Amino acid sequence: MSEPLVIIGNGMAAARLVEELSCRALGRYAVAVVGEEPTLAYNRVLLSSVLAREVASSEIELKPARWWREHGVTVLCGHAATVIDPQIRRVRLASGATLPYAKLVLATGSRPIQLTVPGATLPGVLTFRDLGDVARIGSAAAQGLKAVVIGGGLLGLEAAYGLAKAGATVDVVHLMDRLMERQLDPRAAAMLRRALEAKGIAVHLNAETAGMRGAKRVEAVALKDGRELAADLVIMAVGIRPSADLAHTAGVAVNRGIVVDDALQTNIAGIHAIGECAEHRGICYGLVEPAYEQARILARRFVGNTDAAYCGSVLATNLKVSGINVFSAGDFLGRPGTEQIVLCDPGLDSYRKLVVADGYLVGAVLYGDTSDGLWYLDLIRSGTSIEPFRSDLVFGQALVERMAA
């Protein structure tokens, strides 16, 4: 008889876990996936492309409804899980229905952080995190609209790009001294800023939001330095917070996120967590690739491979930001004692910096041409010595392999 497996959360981590199980022994479990959003799992990375009307929302669906049916998975869209009872191993839904489980996986993702400043609840102040947000922003976006995006990280820049393509006049307000400071070094961030400004997006760095002003709806964003930016629409994209409230009320250990060990097990038997909601060895990754690695390890454990262990991920970002390719991995800033190899071609708007320590590649940041990004990531993860080809390393995989032939 199949064991009941309940997955709370219907995002990218949950979909990958089911896919990994389907390649191994999905029939061993009666799987139910519970998601608050009224849609099937979709590629959240492509939200800005939907906002920019480059793709339709239906095109970012990860698996069609037919796939889930053919694999015997029950998907409950638009259903919020409200209570977990570990004593009787049941999950209660907002509808009042309950689901039994032998194993429970929390893949609840994260929620957008909202600034607690005056005017933050005015109509016209929105977040950018899911398809519902995209629909609300899209319906408000129009030619000539004045939009202010608070946050110069990935989500904020993606929102800015989508709004600009829709014809809005866009200002980006960022608290830090450079854009995407978690993914880019100062030089790459400066190049990105110039590219955004060339698209008509104004960037304000070292700028702190004091509040929003407006009578019946938002009309302006006030900065702490005294400036005001006119705004018909404000998008908050200042970060995310692991969605862990459901776990906490069930007695699951929560720090910043849901605490898991190398088996992706919480402190309560039978309850696991993966993805943005999980905290492993003190780290909440908030990225897709670590979530996929966790899903792969957990699937292996669920089919009996008790040696499978998640030991953490090398942080890497490989994205197209506002139409511009960027990549970073590992220690791309370079700790004291490391060496840096830099190649910059302003004419091609291309930049790459490699960070080397003791004959090994430990970090990389690429801007523009990111075709060698995954090769550099493999070198970082594998711990391969670069000494035999160090002089050619910055020019990429093709040259290294040609010189070695």
Residue 17's CB: how many other CB atoms inside 10 A?
29
Non-local (6+) Cβ contacts of 167 within 8 A are: 141, 142, 143, 144, 145
pLDDT in tens, 384-394: 999 999 999 99
Averaged pLDDT for residues 349-369: 97
pLDDT in tens, 225-235: 999 999 999 99
Averaged pLDDT for residues 56-76: 95
Task: Say what the pLDDT of residue 317 is.
Answer: 87
The arrangement of secondary structure in 3-111+240-302, i.e. its CATH architecture, is 3-Layer(bba) Sandwich (3.50)
Task: Say what the pLDDT of residue 25 is.
Answer: 78
Specify the fold of 125-236. FAD/NAD(P)-binding domain (3.50.50)
Range with the lowest mean pLDDT among 51-60, 135-144, 165-174, 181-190?
135-144
User: Do 3-111+240-302 and 125-236 have matching folds?
Assistant: yes
- Is 67's pLDDT higher than 90? yes
Homologous superfamily in CATH for domain 316-404: FAD/NAD-linked reductase, C-terminal dimerisation domain (3.30.390.30)
- Is 144's pLDDT higher than 90? no
pLDDT in tens, 191-213: 999 999 999 999 999 999 999 99
Range with the lowest mean pLDDT among 66-80, 121-135, 140-154, 241-255?
140-154
Q: Are 36 and 7 contacting, i.e. CB atoms less than 8 angstroms apart?
A: no
Alpha-carbon distances, residue 279 vs 16, 17, 211, 314 (angstroms): 18, 17, 32, 15
Residue 320, strand partner residues: 325
> What integer best gives the mean pLDDT of the chain?
94
Domain boundaries, the chain: 3-111+240-302, 125-236, 316-404
